[in-house]
Structure 1
Amino acid sequence: MKLAILDRDGTLNPLGDGYVTSPEEWTAMAGALEAIARLNHAGWHVVVATNQPGLGRGLFDVMALNAIHAKMHRQVAALGGRIDAVFYCPHAADEECACRKPAPGLLEQISDRYGVERQEVQVVGSCAAHLQAGAALGAQLHLVCTGPSAHLHPGMPLPADMPPGTRVHASLGDFVDQLLPAAAPPLAATPLPPLAGGISLDAI
C-alpha cells in the first residue's frame, strides 16, 4: 500500500486568524484537493493527521469538527478523490499527550492501522511539528511552502526547526508532480467509489 499522511491547516486549507470552528470557515487551498485526487488515481491512500487543540479549549465541539471534515470529504469527492480518514489530537498543548504533534502518536497509529512500513510513508505538511512527528516515525518528509511556510521556497536552506532530509516543494500540487511518474495517466473523470461507512474520524 502507498500511503501519504497530510497535515490539514496550512496544507489543505489556508490559515486564518484563529481556529477553524465551523464548516463555513473552512475553505480549501487552491489546488490542494485536486492534488489529493491525483494521488488517489495513482494508487495512493491519503490520510490527514491534525492537531485540534480548540476541542480541548472548548472553542468548538466534535460535532462541529465532524461537519468541517464532512465538507472537506464532499469537496474532494466532487473532484474524483477521497481522504481515507482524518486522525486528530483534541488536546491542548499543556496536556502533555502522546498524540499532539510533534509527538508521533497520531502518525504511528495511522501507519499501524494501514500496515505500511514506516520508512515507506510519505509525510507532507507546511509546519515543523508535522514534519518532526514524521521524522520520529522514520517516514519520508516533504515540506510544502504554504500556510506557515509560505515565505519559503524550494532551494532555500531549511529552517533550523525542520528535520534534516526534508524535501521542499512549492505546493501540494508540486509535491504530487515530483512523486508521480512523468508518464502517469491524467486524472480520470469518474469518481472513486465511496468508502464503506462514509467519513472516518479517529482520535487517540
Structure 2
Amino acid sequence: MKAGIFLDRDGVINEVLTKRVKFVNKPSDFYLLEKVGEAIKLLNDAEYKVFVVTNQGGIGLGYMKEKELERVHGKMKHELEKYGAFIDDIAYCPHKPHAGCACRKPEPQMIVDLAKRHDVNLENSYMVGDRDPDIEAGKAAGVKTVLVGKREKSNTNADMEFERLYDFAKWLIS
C-alpha cells in the first residue's frame, strides 16, 4: 500500500481571501501559491499519491455550478503540469455549510473514500490544511496532520506546522 498526501485546496494550493481574489468560483480566480508546483513535484517524485480534498459549499449556495468547478480544477492541473507535477485524484463536497452531510470536512469521508479507491495506507499518510476542519478531518481519518500558513491562533492540535506546503514537502522527503 502506498502513502498519500491529502491536500486542502484553498489556502494550501491556491490563493483565497487575498487582495487579488476573494473566493475561487471560476478559473480566472485561481492562482497557485508560491512554490506549490515545486512542492507537489517533490511529493510525486517521492512516490506519494497526492490528492485534493476540498469543501466547495459555493456549489450548494448557488455561487457556482459543478461544471465551473471542473474548469477550476482543470486550470489547477494545467498550472501544476508546468512544474511536472500532478494530482492523483480530487474529492470535493458540493453541499452547503451546515448541511449535515457525511462528506464535508471536518468529516473524514473524502479522505477515507480516496484511500480505499487508491489503496492508500492511512497510517503512513498526511492531511495538509490551513484551517481547523482540515486537521479535524485528518485526525478522524487516522492520518498525520499538517497545518500550513501563517496562523495567529488555531484551536487544533495538528501534528506539525509549516509556513507553506513546500516547507512540509522538503521536510518529508529529507
Matched letter for residue 142 of structure 2: G
Contact kept? 2:3, 2:121, Cα under 8 Å: no
CA shift, 1:117, in A, is: 2.3
TM-superposed deviation, 1:74: 0.7
Query: How big is the shift at 1:151?
Result: 3.4
Matches within 5 A, 1:165-180: 166-180=159-173
Is this contact kept in 2: 1:111–1:121, CA < 8 A? no
Q: How far off is 1:94 after superposition? A: 2.7
Aligned-CA RMSD value: 1.4
1:7 aligns with 2:23: no
Residue 139 of structure 2: aligned partner: 135
Cα deviation, 1:118-150, whole Å, max 9, x if unaligned, reads 2111111111101100000110111112xxxx2
Match among 25, 35, 40 for residue 36 of structure 1 = 40
Deviation at 1:77, TM superposition (A): 1.1
Aligned equivalents of 1:84 and 1:78: distance in 2? 16
Which ranges of 4 or more aligned residues in structure 1 deviate by more than 2 Å?
A: 16-19
Distance in 1 (alpha carbons) for counterparts of 2:120 and 2:103: 19
1:86 to 52, 65, 90: 90
The runs of 5 or more residues in structure 1 that have no matched partner are 153-157, 182-204
Letter in 1 for 2:99: E
Please list, as runs of the form range in 1=range in 2, the aligned pairs for 1:102-113 lying within 5 A after superposition. 102-113=106-117
Equivalent pair of 1:22/1:67 in contact (CA under 8 Å): yes
- Provide the C-alpha distance between the structure 2 equivalents of 1:94 and 1:141, rounded to a whole number of angstroms: 23
Question: What is the alpha-carbon distance in structure 2 between the residues aligned to residue 128 and residue 135 of structure 1?
Answer: 11
Amino acid at match of 2:167: D
What do residues 57-108 of structure 1 show as CA deviations (whole Å, max 9, x unaligned)? 1111011101100000011112111001110000011310000000111111
Partner deviation per Cα, 1:145-192 (whole Å, 9 max, x = no partner) = 2xxxx235xxxxx73x213x52011111110111002xxxxxxxxxxx
Structure 2: how far apart are the matches of 1:78 and 1:18? Answer: 24
- Greater radius of gyration (CA): 1
Alignment TM-score, normalising by the size of structure 1: 0.79
In structure 1, C-alpha distance between the alignment counterparts of 2:48 and 2:122, rounded to whole Å: 15
Shift of 1:110: 1.1
Contact 1:40 1:82 in 2 (8 A): yes
Match of 2:7, as an amino acid?
L
CA contact (8 A) 2:3 2:122 kept: no
CA distance in 2, matches of 1:151, 1:107: 24
Match of 2:77 in 1: 73
1:61 to 60, 65, 68: 65
In the alignment, structure 2 segments of 5+ residues that lack a partner are none
Letter in 2 for 1:175: F
The number of equivalent residue pairs is 170
- Quote the offset at 1:2 in angstroms: 2.4
